[in-house]
Amino acid sequence: MASNVSGARGGSPVSRKPFAAGWTLFAACLMIFGGAMAIFQGIGGIVNDERYVITGNYVYKFDTTGWGWLHLILGIVIVLAGVALFTGAIWARVLGVIVAGLNMIANFLWLPYYPFWAVVLIAVDIAVIWALTAGTHRQEVGT
């Protein structure tokens, strides 16, 4: 069911599509999942940095303990942003897009250490960004 909201274009009623809220909830759940996975990724890098082995010769090489802390902090921020999305606030959507983009960059740089995990989390971040940017459409009714 669509709800009517007045105030757009001189007070004409506007109907929100039911999937708009659904995509935001979908993005919130994915952010909480992706943030939890980033937290586990960070804990793995901090606790046992010998666990990750570089799979090839790459231009960049980083200390996995430092990357572990980065993933841990970023994961906590992503989980908090995902929880904030349940409020429906615009700032939470903007924050969600920003932290999902940062997480994509971090996981791209993490590819030499754990390629499969990084690709899965990049895909989750792409889905989050898409859901947060595509879920704000409105449709006019009764003109």
Backbone phi and psi for residue 10, each to the nearest 5 degrees, phi listed first? 75, 25
The reported pLDDT for the residue numbered 57 is 65
The reported pLDDT for the residue numbered 48 is 77
Buried b (16+ CB within 10 A) or exposed e, 16-40: eeeeeeebbebbbebbbbbbebbbe
Helix (H, G, I), strand (E, B) or coil at 87: coil
The reported pLDDT for the residue numbered 18 is 42
The reported pLDDT for the residue numbered 141 is 46
The reported pLDDT for the residue numbered 12 is 52
Q: Is the dihedral angle over the CA atoms 34, 38, 41, 43 positive or is it negative?
A: negative
The reported pLDDT for the residue numbered 17 is 46
The reported pLDDT for the residue numbered 28 is 92
Task: Locate the domains of the chain by residue range.
Answer: 26-135
Taking CA atoms, 9 is separated from 5, 21, 64, 135, 138, in Å, by 11, 22, 53, 20, 12
Question: Mean pLDDT in each 10-residue stretch from start to end of the chain (143 residues)?
Answer: 49 49 87 92 81 61 80 94 89 93 91 86 93 65 47
The answer to whether 142 touches 9, Cβ cutoff 8 Å, is no
The reported pLDDT for the residue numbered 75 is 94
